[in-house]
Amino acid sequence: MRLTIHGGVGEKGRTCIGVEQAGTRLLLDVGVDTSASLGPRHYPAITPEELRRIDAILVSHAHEDHVAALGWCLANGFAGRILMTAESAAEAAMTLAAYATPEERALAAKAPAETIMPGREFTIGPFAIRTGRSGHVVGGVWCHLSAEGRKLGYCGDVVPDSPVLAMDPLPPCDLLLVDASYGADKVPASERAAAITGWLGRHPRGALLPTPLSGRSIELIGLIDGPVAIHPSMRAALAGQIAARDWLKPGIADMLSRRLAGALLWEEGQPLPPAALLCSDGMGLAGPSKAALAQAELAGHPVLLTGHIPKGSPAELLHARGKAEWLRFPTHPTLQENAALVAATGAGRVLAHSCDTATARSLIGNIPNLVADLVPGDTIDI
């Protein structure tokens, strides 16, 4: 089994991993790099000739760094199968609306996805493929591929111990790609959560929290024990995520439903509310947060950023000017959690995705079998 790195290893963003066995070729995720302008660095490092030979694309979840290049792949020669969960397929349309060109959106809309069901094995050519819930977003899955006795685990984005979303155990594998978005961060999720609730307690007149529509938004609704506000465009999507109880921890859906039902509604042009205002997306690049960040800056309203903020994004510029604070919300694994995933799967070799090479090297002390020098264009055999 051969892996080819097309993005996301040795760098942050545009996650895309090629897998080949006996002439069958797959791509695991097809993301974009929102830190790069439209062009070669924005999209996966894969040629039209290579795309024409791809048999299928498997999407782990519908965040922009994992799915937003889907239409671009179709525009550049890909004509194979597309597989993702039903929840990710619904969200992918919204992600492409925010991050893809009109041509790319139109092509993706004409190429409906086949539905993945977590826990149900299926085959593509010589590959036996299993998926499981990732704990990162409703509809998000990890992928496990086996062929001719070799086994590959791909985490996508995972949260091993989310208080809201469930993650299934990964099967044994020979090589595991871990979600290293947080690098060598060892701060427990409970500490991160306490820091955010403490910050909100010090801003009782309200604050703006830009956040991705899926995953982190319902996690924050679960965390914030106080007034919450949302943009009306987010209500249906959040309600849908909360209704998808099979993806959630037992007993959490009723509490989330009550808090969502009691959320205030805010629209552009209205005064910012005396509540924790959740607006998508998390970077101010699209959605209601784009206008909300501009309004918050003019009004001197507190802003708390809780996730990745790409260079040049409105959120990053506001933070650089001292107009926004940043506290990481735990939606990716800590170093200890990644080391535990490696140990549980028995992986003999490990790759780190969603981080640069220097960050990957910093993990070797805790994950000694990590291969830290691969970059887009490189290959590795299992």
Report the CATH number at residue 364.
Answer: 3.60.15.10
335 plus 304 within the same structural domain? no
Kindly report, residue by residue over 174-217, the tens digit of the pLDDT.
999 999 999 999 998 899 999 999 999 999 999 999 998 888 99
67 plus 16 within the same structural domain? yes
> Which one of 326, 343, 365 terminates a domain?
326
Cis amide leading into 179 (omega within 30): no
273 plus 210 within the same structural domain? yes
**Joined tokens for residue 304:** 């708390």
Report the CATH number at residue 210.
Answer: 3.40.50.10890
Please count the structural domains in the chain: 2
Angle, CA 213 vertex, CA 229 and CA 89 arms, to 5°: 145
Kindly report, residue by residue over 271-311, the tens digit of the pLDDT.
999 999 999 987 888 889 999 999 999 999 999 999 888 88
What backbone torsions phi and psi does residue 123 show, to the nearest 5 degrees? -125, 150
308 plus 348 within the same structural domain? no
Pair 37, 14: CB distance under 8 Å? no
DSSP structure class, residue 171 = P
pLDDT at residue number 317: 93
169 plus 43 within the same structural domain? yes
220 plus 138 within the same structural domain? no
254 plus 105 within the same structural domain? no
Kindly report, residue by residue over 125-170, the tens digit of the pLDDT.
999 999 999 999 999 999 999 999 999 999 999 999 999 999 999 9
DSSP 45-87: S--HHHHHT--EEE-S--SHHHHTTHHHHHHTT--SEEEE-HH
Residue 318's SS3 state is: helix
Containing structural domain, residue 128: 2-184+331-381
